[in-house]
Amino acid sequence: MNIYKVAYQGDIGSYSYELLVNLFPNVESVPCSSFSELISFVKKEKVHGLLPVENSIAGTVNEAYEELIESNLNIFGEYIKKIDHALIGLPNSEIGNIKKVKSHPQALQQCNQYLNKNHFELIPIFDTAGGVFQLLEELDVTVAAIAGSHFEKDKRFKILKKKISNHDENFTRFLLIGDMQPNLNYQPNKVSSVLISDDKPGSLLKALNVFELLNINLTKLESRPILGRPWEYKFYVDFELKNVAELEIIVNKILEVSKEFKILGLYPKFSP
CATH number at residue 149: 3.40.190.10
Confidence of residue 161 (pLDDT cuts 50, 70, 90): very high
> Is residue 64 domain-shared with residue 109, that is, in the same domain?
no
Domain that holds residue 29: 5-82+170-178
- Of the candidates 189, 223, 207, 212, the one whose C-alpha atom is nearest the C-alpha of residue 259 is 207
Query: Does position 180 have pLDDT exceeding 90, yes or no?
Result: no
Confidence of residue 137 (pLDDT cuts 50, 70, 90): very high
Alpha-carbon span 110 to 119, nearest angstrom = 16
pLDDT value at position 230? 84
> Is residue 54 domain-shared with residue 113, that is, in the same domain?
no
The mean predicted confidence, pLDDT, of the chain is: 93
> Is residue 72 within 8 Å of residue 137, measured between CB atoms?
no
Report the 10 Å Cβ neighbour count for 225. 12
Query: Does position 193 have pLDDT exceeding 60, yes or no?
Result: yes
pLDDT value at position 87? 98
Query: Does position 184 have pLDDT exceeding 80, yes or no?
Result: no
CATH number at residue 252: 3.30.70.260
> Is residue 89 domain-shared with residue 73, that is, in the same domain?
no
Our measurement of the distance from residue 19's CA atom to the centroid of its chain's CA atoms, rounded to an integer in Å, reads 12
pLDDT value at position 272? 75
Alpha-carbon span 126 to 103, nearest angstrom = 7
Q: What are the tens digits of pLDDT across the range 48-68?
A: 999 999 999 888 999 999 999
Region for residue 230 given its phi and psi (left: phi exceeds 0; alpha: psi -120 to 50; beta: otherwise): beta
Q: Is 126 exposed, middle or buried (0-12, 13-18, 19+ CB in 10 A)?
A: middle
Does residue 183 sit within a domain? no
Q: Is 243 exposed, middle or buried (0-12, 13-18, 19+ CB in 10 A)?
A: exposed
pLDDT value at position 2? 66
Strands 100-103 and 218-225: unpaired
> Is residue 75 domain-shared with residue 53, that is, in the same domain?
yes
For 259, the 3-state DSSP assignment is: strand
pLDDT value at position 202? 87
